[in-house]
Each structure stands twice: as structure tokens, then as C-alpha cells.
């Protein structure tokens, strides 16, 4: 326990810093969003209608990409990227273990092998040197994750991919609104995958997208996400179709379509992206200021090239300066009515990967970071009082457990 003057923790019978529970993330839906969805639901087409094309056009404009394909979720986006890149049996795909499982699973879906590169111990993003060290004659692609929303070191990774002839896929599930050297995420990799899950910066309920500047990749992404079917007569192999009802399945694809009412919600949310980004910047700046004088709390370093719209705010505990475990700190935060989360369990820790020969120790930096981190609340609807209550909870627990 810390000094005797420390305020008693709620987990030990003290008074919580908040009366109501606050969570690490949540969607921000207003009446404009509800109206946009309602308008589509009252109309003739709730799927395969005009809103999907409209949101793809808007996404391309927002990300600076030439093409965008919206899909059912971020996992579908990654799967389509693997299919479009021609990844298959015997191939290897390098990614980070400090991510949601889909970043690696997408390689498994197409019969390839995920290879885990370690992360930078300060930025928590995939380390370009580790990427290069893991390249073999079977490596076909890199899936680089913009962890928490911070852009990866695109220039270095792009150079590695170009030199080795690899497809560069950016998993920007966290990073809509982030810019790298002034360029929006979505226009930098060969393909960039987004997620619009409710805890992300903008949402369509579930939903995802892939952006690209390559017309051939765009064609393959469209086929992969829509049953491999084309309906444009100019694209038919059959030059004399029987009638206007004719369509062609040209390859094996999947039903990863987004509905029109989801697209309408996403259009409405995209209009708020700048405001959401601004508020996230404000909250991050306040957290950074508050934790600067707490040596027990380590914050994620941001590279100067990244103008980050932060999806997650991660605190790392310096457990050498605290008399508690990460679990004890996490549970104490919950008792103070500040519900945190941990992002993420290293992917190769899971039974599915252990059964395939992956062992702990592959990525020492990622494993050490995982042991010490948690995500604290960050979303635009947080009031200044909400932010201060989170800071108060962190400070209260640090004071209690300080060595």
C-alpha cells in the first residue's frame, strides 16, 4: 500500500470517484444519424441501393483514395484484401501480434501462414526492422496495423515492401481520420482496411471498407465482396447475353455487402469525422498533460509524422514502481466506476495458434507491453468532467499502490 494519507480505494470500501459507470468506448449517435437511417428504411431500397455507392464515393474523398469498397465489417475487409492480393496456400503474411485476431486470421482464411513481427517498445506499432528480419522467399504481404489510430512508419514499410515485391496492406481499423505526413490513411498502402464497429471513431453499426488507388485491385475487391458476380454487360465474358436479367459469376466470392441503411448511417457519421477527431485530440492532450507527472504511468509515444485521430488511449503501468499487478489496478479502476479494457492479448497466445506451433517468446516487446497495458475511456461524447474523473481514478490508484 502507498502512504497512509492516500484516499481509500473503492475496491477496499472507499467511495468511487464516479457514481455511474463509464466505459472505454461507445458510439456517438444523434438525431441526424437516426433520421438518415429512417429515411432509407422508409424508402424502396434498404440494400443494393444508391446509398452504398454514395458512401463509397464519400470515403474515397475523405481518405484521398481513388476507389473504396464498403463491406460487412473490418474482418471482411481484410479477407477481401488477401483475396485481391492473390495470397494463398504456402504464402506468408507478416503482421503484428498486438492487434485484434482478424489482422492475422485473414491470412489463415486464404490458406497462408501469419508471421508475427515485434513492435516498437515505445510506439507499440509494428517495427519495420522486425518486418524485414522475418521476410522469407514465401513472404507475399505485410499487414501493418495502425495501433490505437497512430500511423505506422509508412515510408519505411513501403520501402521494404517495394524492395521485396510485397503487397502492402494497412489495417487502419483504428485510424479513420489519421494523417501521415499530411496524407490521410486510406491513400498510402496498396490497400487500406477500415472498421466501423460502434467503438470506432465513426460507425455504421457493423461495417468496413477497403480503399485503393489500383484499378485492378479495386476490380478484384468488388468481386471478392459480391459473390464474384458482375452485372455490367461491358464486363461479361458472354458477349450475347439472353436478356437484361443476365449476370455472371466470374470467380468465387463472398456476400460481404453493406446494407443501404448502414451506408446512410456511415454517410451521416462521416460528416462528423472532423468534429469527432477534434474532440479526441482534446481528450488525448488532457490525458497526456495529466500523466506527464506520474512516473508510474507510461504513455504511448507518437511519431511526429502521424497526426493521429486516436481510437484508444493506452496507459502502461510501470510495475517496478507499483505494489500491485495489472489485474489489481484494472479491478480497482472498475470499482471506481471507470471500466477499462485491454487491447490486445497477443494473437499467438490463443489456443488456435498454439495448436499450430506458435509459442510465447516470439515477440518480447509486444508481450511485455501486453502485460502492463490497459485502455482507459476515450470517445467524443465524454464531458470534461468525465475526463477529469478518469484522471482522478488513475491518480487515486497510483497514490495507493505507489512504492
Q: What local confidence, expressed as pLDDT, does residue 19 receive? A: 97
Answer yes or no: is pLDDT of 241 > 90: no
> pLDDT band at residue 5, thresholds of 50, 70 and 90?
low
Answer yes or no: is pLDDT of 41 > 50: yes
Fold of 10-26+273-401: 3.90.1150
Q: What local confidence, expressed as pLDDT, does residue 1 receive? A: 38
- pTM of the model as a whole: 0.97
Tens-digit pLDDT profile for residues 256-274: 999 999 999 999 999 999 9
> pLDDT band at residue 3, thresholds of 50, 70 and 90?
very low
Are the C-beta atoms of 157 and 144 separated by less than 8 Å? yes
Only one residue has cell 481514478, namely: 393
Between CA 178 and CA 160 the distance in angstroms is 22
SS3 content of the chain, % helix, strand, coil (to 5): 40, 15, 45
Answer yes or no: is pLDDT of 101 > 70: yes
Tens-digit pLDDT profile for residues 350-366: 999 999 999 999 999 99
Are the C-beta atoms of 187 and 50 separated by less than 8 Å? no
Answer yes or no: is pLDDT of 194 > 60: yes
Catalytic residue among 200, 220, 239, 354: 200
Are the C-beta atoms of 24 and 287 separated by less than 8 Å? no
Is 237 or 2 the better-scoring residue by pLDDT? 237
Answer yes or no: is pLDDT of 200 > 50: yes
191 Cβ contact list (under 8 Å, min separation 6): 81, 84, 85, 167, 168, 169, 170, 210, 211, 212, 214, 217, 221
Residue ranges of the chain that CATH labels 3.40.640.10: 31-270
Cα dihedral 186, 192, 198, 201 sign: negative
Residue ranges of the chain that CATH labels 3.90.1150.10: 10-26+273-401
Cα dihedral 377, 379, 381, 382 sign: positive
198 Cβ contact list (under 8 Å, min separation 6): 25, 26, 27, 205
Only one residue has cell 458472354, namely: 238
Tens-digit pLDDT profile for residues 109-167: 999 999 999 999 999 999 999 999 999 999 999 999 999 999 999 999 999 999 999 99
- Residue (of 122, 101, 95, 125) closest to 349 by Cα position: 101
For domain 31-270, the CATH class is alpha beta
Cα dihedral 350, 352, 353, 357 sign: positive
Between CA 20 and CA 11 the distance in angstroms is 15
200 is an active site residue = yes
Name the percent of the chain lying above pLDDT 70.
Answer: 99
State the greatest distance between any 2 C-alpha atoms of the chain, in Å, as a whole number: 86
Between CA 65 and CA 170 the distance in angstroms is 13
Amino acid at each position: 500500500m502507498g502512504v497512509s494519507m492516500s484516499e481509500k480505494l473503492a475496491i477496499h470500501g472507499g467511495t468511487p470517484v464516479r457514481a455511474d459507470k463509464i466505459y472505454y468506448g461507445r458510439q456517438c449517435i444523434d438525431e441526424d444519424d437516426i433520421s438518415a437511417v429512417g429515411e432509407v428504411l422508409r424508402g424502396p431500397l434498404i440494400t443494393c441501393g444508391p446509398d452504398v455507392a454514395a458512401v463509397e464515393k464519400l470515403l474515397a474523398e475523405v481518405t484521398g483514395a481513388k476507389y473504396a469498397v464498403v463491406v460487412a465489417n473490418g474482418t471482411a475487409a481484410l479477407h477481401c484484401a488477401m483475396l485481391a492480393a492473390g495470397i494463398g496456400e504456402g504464402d506468408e503474411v507478416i503482421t503484428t501480434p498486438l492487434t485484434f485476431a482478424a489482422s492475422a486470421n485473414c491470412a489463415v482464411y486464404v490458406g497462408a501462414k501469419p508471421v508475427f513481427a515485434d513492435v516498437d517498445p515505445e510506439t507499440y506499432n509494428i517495427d519495420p526492422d522486425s518486418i524485414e528480419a522475418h521476410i522469407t522467399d514465401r513472404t507475399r504481404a505485410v499487414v501493418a496495423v495502425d495501433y490505437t489510430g497512430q500511423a505506422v512508419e509508412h515510408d519505411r514499410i513501403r520501402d521494404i515492401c517495394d524492395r521485396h515485391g510485397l503487397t502492402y496492406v494497412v489495417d487502419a481499423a483504428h485510424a479513420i481520420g489519421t494523417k501521415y505526413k499530411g496524407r490521410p490513411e486510406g491513400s498510402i498502402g496498396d490497400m487500406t482496411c477500415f472498421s466501423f464497429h460502434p467503438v470506432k471513431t465513426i460507425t455504421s453499426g457493423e461495417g468496413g471498407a477497403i480503399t485503393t488507388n489500383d484499378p485492378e485491385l479495386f476490380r478484384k475487391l468488388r468481386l471478392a465482396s459480391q459473390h464474384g458476380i458482375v452485372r455490367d454487360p461491358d464486363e461479361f465474358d458472354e458477349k450475347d447475353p439472353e436478356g437484361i436479367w443476365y449476370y455472371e459469376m466470374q470467380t468465387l466470392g463472398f456476400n460481404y455487402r453493406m446494407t443501404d441503411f448502414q451506408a446512410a448511417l456511415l454517410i451521416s457519421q462521416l460528416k462528423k469525422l472532423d468534429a469527432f477527431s477534434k474532440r479526441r485530440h482534446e481528450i488525448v492532450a488532457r490525458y497526456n498533460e495529466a500523466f506527464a507527472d506520474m512516473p508510474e504511468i507510461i504513455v504511448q509515444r507518437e511519431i511526429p509524422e502521424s497526426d493521429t485521430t486516436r481510437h484508444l488511449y493506452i496507459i502502461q503501468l510501470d510495475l517496478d514502481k507499483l505494489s500491485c499487478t495489472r489485474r489489481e489496478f484494472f479491478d480497482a479502476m472498475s470499482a471506481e466506476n471507470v471500466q477499462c479494457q485491454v487491447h490486445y492479448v497477443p494473437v499467438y497466445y490463443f489456443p488456435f495458434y498454439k495448436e499450430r506451433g506458435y509459442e510465447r517468446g516470439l515477440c518480447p516487446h509486444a508481450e511485455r507491453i501486453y502485460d502492463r497495458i490497459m485502455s482507459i475511456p476515450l470517445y467524443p461524447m465524454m464531458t470534461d468532467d468525465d475526463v477529469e474523473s478518469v484522471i482522478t481514478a488513475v491518480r487515486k490508484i497510483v497514490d495507493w499502490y505507489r512504492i
